[in-house]
Structure 1
Amino acid sequence: MGTEGENVRVIAGRYRLEERIGRGGMGLVWRAADQLLGRQVAVKELVLDPSLSAEEARLQRERTLREARAVAQLRHPHIIVVHDVVEDDERPYIVMELIDGGSLAERIAGRGPVDAREAARIGIDLLGALRRAHGAGVLHRDLKPANVLMEAGTDRVVLTDFGIAQVAGATTLTESGSFVGSPEYTAPERMSGERTGPESDLWSLGALLCAVLSGESPFRRDSLGGILHAVVVDEIRPPVQAQPILPVVRGLLERDPERRLDAAEAERLLREFLDTGRTPRAPVAYTPTQRDVPRRAVPPPEVPEAPTPPAALASRSSRHSARGVLIAAALVAAMAGAGVSAAALLMREGGNGSRTPASSGPSSPSASPSRPSAPGATVTVTRPPTTVPASATSRTVPSGYRLTHDPDRFSLAVPDGFTRSPQGERIFYMSPGETFRIGIKMSDPEPGGPLAVMRRSDADGPANNPGYHDGRVTETSHNGNPAALWEFTWNGFTAAEGPRHTYDLCWEEGDRMYDVWVSAPVGKEQESKEYFDVAVGTFVPG
């Protein structure tokens, strides 16, 4: 039984609760003295709601015990250590190591955001903690600045409050219909009620990195409905302070968990930034094999598909957004007291909005540098392409793409919703908003072949592409023909959109030279790489 003094309580005959130092995950946290071992500890006390039924109170106690079991099995310098679990007056307590120092949230509130190097250090430490937890089958599910402690004097990063942790095979509170977690830091797949995995914690880390760099989550809004809409639908805009590690932030904040940056790669990129001071990028080399075609490929359809109208949503990402509107609306409708109706939430759906007039893609071999169209200019689309059955070629067309027979006598698979835009000697297929640009150019062979052409383009890169950097030309082959792959990053068309990354393959086939490239904003390399591999893998001249 607990004993009472004038200002203290002793629980389990051993731990003297001295001072309340915080609250986390349905409990109060106390600074306490372990009278047996003579050391200071932190004790988390489950606070029971007196209005709960006996069954509900039992579920709360089980949750606390689950937290203790989940964390006690983990040993890592950046994960809180659990010393003991005790019960006193039918109330459970978790005894943990005491970290002198406040939370990361308190640090940001008191001292302001951190710089990119400190954010990278924090990110690396948390990635190590998450990798250890995930390796043991434990998901945190509530990663946010308030649940990260910063040890005074050493700045050691410590992940704590596994209060809603999920252990593999255990029943979770969400399965009984209650949503747990912090919406600003919750992955969209968790919002939708789908079965979640380690990728959901990595999304939360991406939001956390934005918060420590700018002072707030990119999904902060004035209402719960606004937050839900931002997480599952709105365009994600990382803060400008995230630019030095933008590929990591964008990779972690990828809505499709299958495309999300994994922990090992995120850690590698952050370490690269700390080592070099340069913005890292994830090089994904082109490998001219059928394996590059995404696993989602399906057998060719038996009949032609109708051309997708320009207003159609593009690619899997846009389809996720459309579905996300329904998810957000359903969540808001289900959460009583949110103050936002589902109808109002749906009214906010507007996509990414309009952008500047069409501009050409990145500079390609033997082509003069392109310039954005003048304001108000129109792009004439001549001889609209027709869609033909996938069986017209031996190439497999993945789900979400359509095989297009272009009027300029070539065919390739492009994502649903992409529209044709010829610009001089180059043909573009662009996503709505022109975020993704697939470019095609056909020409006569040039001296030295594709490798020489790409090397000349690389040498001319700074003149043709403002802010050109990280250019790399690799000799390869395509369909048994000489080829060269050129990758580079540049400043992009507008400051608002930011820098872009390009994959460009040039090869000779027959008596012609072909050039196929994909350009996309930095941070969207994974999706861009898929578009590139499919375009190259399904391209057929003639």
Structure 2
Amino acid sequence: MGTDRVVAGRYRLGSRLGRGGMGTVWAATDELLHREVAVKELHLADGEQSLERALREARGLARIRHPNVVVVHDVVEEDGRPWIVMELVDGRSLAEVLREDGPLPPREAARVGAAVAGALLAAHQHGIQHRDVKPANVLLDRTTGRVVLTDFGIARVPGSTTVSETGAFVGSPEYTAPERMEGKAAGPESDLWSLGALLCAAVDGHSPFRGESIGEIVHAVAFADIRPPEAVGPLLPVVQGLLERDPARRMAAADVQTVLVAYAETGAEPPTPPTVPAVPKARADGGERPPRRAGRRRRLLAGLGATVLIAAVAGGTAALVVLRGSGSEDRGHATTAPPTSTAPPTTTALPTTTAPPTTTASPSPTVPAPSALPAGFRTVTDEHGWSVALPDGWVRQEVPPRVYYWSADHAFRFGERVQPPGKGTAYDVMHGQDVAARGAKGPYRGYRDGVVTRTTQNGEEAALWEFTYDGFADGGGPRRTFDLCWVQGGVMYDIWLSGPLDRTEKTRSDFDTARLTFTP
């Protein structure tokens, strides 16, 4: 039933979108800004204390700015209760998709899982645990396919007492980690167990811990042998890495995102290392489980990188390897000061002698032939001798020691820089940049969600840095950047690509193509 009630003098409630134990969500219109929003009316049990806690939690969630986390616009009080105003996602929950359309193919499940892993990583970096990751809380935008993690209603937020800490268990047992089920202290790793169960549900239709009673579910989660469904197929190494009963042995969110993105975008299956053990049964006698063999994650990720690169080239596709991390957007490395301006150039500022990118007649053997490139791309040979595949129409600009290529609308920018190797590895350099960016005087306004990942490029050790910041000083909004750094032939190469935060998937895809096709 619809309603014409107005909350806080500006949010006119419409139809009810859903109702749960923690609150009711309404579609609404923000009459001040003339936009559609979702408004969550929280159900409180103990009055003023619950109100204060809910407000702290909502404000904490508003700090998370990530493309796969629901955006919190406002927190208001009405009739002594808090109402959380969020973005309205036009789509269905994963639970609805599974119920109405059936299970997802493994590659689509990987895409969804990678997005959720990225959202959890961003939340955990702010000290926030979701604690209710399940298909009903994952939304899929019907137009763009964007994946959004929502409903942080029982999240653990720094400085706030959570519902479970008052003595009540809340959550969805089929997706609840065993340490939480047993009442033990639970950290961010408990969200990753839930992600493992969600991946199983995405390809099989339901959690592997489904039971007829709460007792059966508890037994399945805490004691029984864990048998992922056959439908997980190529996702089995990731599922096994997540459904580890020992939280310390679970796969990290950044690793999960790396593997799932690569598989989703290329179809190259994550390898199953011979050292990956079956998920162990809990020992009733308190004995120790077999120790995890060292290097498992490194071998999985390294094997993935080699497999995907080979598969991408051999299969004639340039939509390739994404090994998570990113962006040397507008700065040099530790040995070089950042440029004096980060604003995009105007048309008149571009050198009049600079010609648009040209297609090479005879691309290097390591670069896919033009017919193998994604539609709308062509191979560009820069005047400095290197080549790369970029979308048609991108225009060159040189700001020594950097070379940029801009999209026609100046929304996207590819950058390249060559310099002598510095001290330490490529990872050391990127890690140093990440640390510097987090400082009060870092080169990026609003720097956040920075992650540096070890990977390889052309057989050499490399580092990938991914981050978000508030964008150029003269406007344009937040940006997402992907940056790869490696040393080859005694030279340090650095390539990066950035774009608007709300177009992260295109930025990532274009960067992946550039990474695969870049030839020094």
Provide TM-score, normalisation by structure 1.
0.51
2:244 and 2:279 in contact (8 A); partners too: no
Q: 1:207 Cα deviation (Å)?
A: 0.3
How many residues align structurally? 292
Larger-Rg structure: 1
CA contact (8 A) 1:27 1:44 kept: yes
Match of 1:273 among 263, 266, 276: 263
The one of 303, 322, 327 equivalent to 2:284 is: 322
- Residue by residue over 1:386-420, the C-alpha shift from the partner in whole angstroms, topping out at 9 and shown as x without a partner, is xxxxxxxxxxxxx959xxxxxxxxxxxxx69xxxx
Query: Cα gap change, 1:285/1:221 in structure 2, threshold over 3 Å: closer, same or farther?
Result: closer
In the alignment, what sits opposite 2:353? none
SS in 2 for 1:166: coil
2:33 to 37, 45, 52: 37
Cα distance per residue 1:396-450 (max 9 Å; x no partner): xxx959xxxxxxxxxxxxx69xxxxxxxxxxxxxxxxxxx9xxxxxxxxxxxxxx
For residue 91 of structure 1, report the CA deviation from its aligned partner: 1.4
Distance in 2 between the 1:218 and 1:164 partners? 23
Q: 1:12 aligns with which of 8, 14, 37?
A: 8
Cα distance in 1, alignment partners of residues 108 and 80 from structure 2: 43
Distance across 2 between alignment mates of 1:323 and 1:126? 36
Is the 8 Å Cα contact of residues 27 and 45 (structure 1) preserved in structure 2? yes
Which runs of structure 2 are paired with 1:113-512 in the superposition (5 Å)? 113-281=103-271, 317-318=280-281, 320-322=282-284, 400=288
| Deviation at residue 68 of structure 1 after TM alignment | 1.0
Residue type of the alignment partner of 1:78: N
> Which amino acid in 2 is paired with 1:67?
E
Shift of residue 75 of structure 1?
0.3
The equivalent of 1:379 in structure 2 is none
SS at match of 1:139: coil
Distance in 2 between the 1:263 and 1:284 partners?
22
TM-superposed deviation, 1:184: 0.5
Instruction: Judge conservation of contact 2:128–2:156 (CA < 8 Å) in 1.
Output: yes
Q: Tell me how far apart the structure 2 counterparts of residues 229 and 283 of structure 1 sit (CA, whole Å).
A: 29
Using the TM superposition, give the Cα deviation of residue 59 of structure 1 relative to its aligned residue in structure 2, in angstroms.
Answer: 4.1
Shift in Å, 1:258: 1.1
Percent of residue pairs identical: 58
Report if aligned partners of 2:117, 2:253 keep a CA contact under 8 Å in 1: yes
Partner in structure 2 of residue 102 of structure 1: 92
Cα gap change, 1:68 to 1:123, in 2 (>3 Å) = same
> For 2:248, what is the secondary structure of its paired residue?
coil
Call closer, same or farther: CA 1:147–1:84 in 2, change over 3 Å.
same
Deviation (angstroms), 1:120: 0.5
Instruction: Quote the offset at 1:276 in angstroms.
Output: 4.7
Q: CA 1:323/1:208 → structure 2, altered by over 3 Å: closer, same or farther?
A: farther
- Closer, same or farther in 2 for the Cα pair 1:169/1:276, shift >3 Å? same
Report the CA distance between 1:284 and its aligned residue. Answer: 9.0
| Kept in 1: contact 2:226–2:279 (CA 8 A) | no
Q: Is the 8 A contact 1:22 1:29 kept in 2?
A: yes
Classify 1:258/1:246 alpha carbon distance in 2 versus 1 (closer, same or farther; 3 Å). same
The 1-side partners of 2:96 and 2:155 are apart by: 23
Measure, in 1, the Cα distance between the counterparts of 2:208 and 2:232.
Answer: 11
Alpha carbons 2:226, 2:280 under 8 Å: kept: no
The whole-number CA distance in structure 2 between the counterparts of 1:323 and 1:144 is 32
Deviations 1:270-322, CA, capped at 9 Å, x for gaps: 23423553431365999xxxxxxxxxxxxxxxxxxxxxxxxxxxx9955x441
Q: CA deviation at 1:267?
A: 1.8
SS of the residue corresponding to residue 203 of structure 2 reads helix
Change (3 A) 1:179 1:400: closer
SS at match of 1:242: helix
Q: CA deviation at 1:122?
A: 0.4
CA distance in 2, matches of 1:323, 1:41: 53
Unmatched tracts of structure 2, length 5 or more: 294-520
1:105, distance to aligned residue in structure 2 (A): 0.5
Structure 1: gaps (5+ residues): 1-5, 287-314, 325-398, 402-414, 417-435, 437-542
2:85 and 2:283 mapped to 1: Cα distance?
Answer: 43
Paired residues of 1:63 and 1:163 also in contact (CA < 8 A): no
User: Aligned to 1:249, what secondary structure does the other structure show?
Assistant: helix
3-state SS of 1:155 partner: coil
The equivalent of 1:22 in structure 2 is: 18
Q: Distance in 1 between matches of 2:156 and 2:85?
A: 20
1:218 and 1:12, CA in 2 relative to 1: closer, same or farther beyond 3 A? same
- Asked if structure 1 preserves the Cα contact closer than 8 Å seen for 2:225 and 2:280, the reply is no
2:102 is aligned with what amino acid? G
Three-state SS of the structure 2 residue aligned to 1:213 is helix
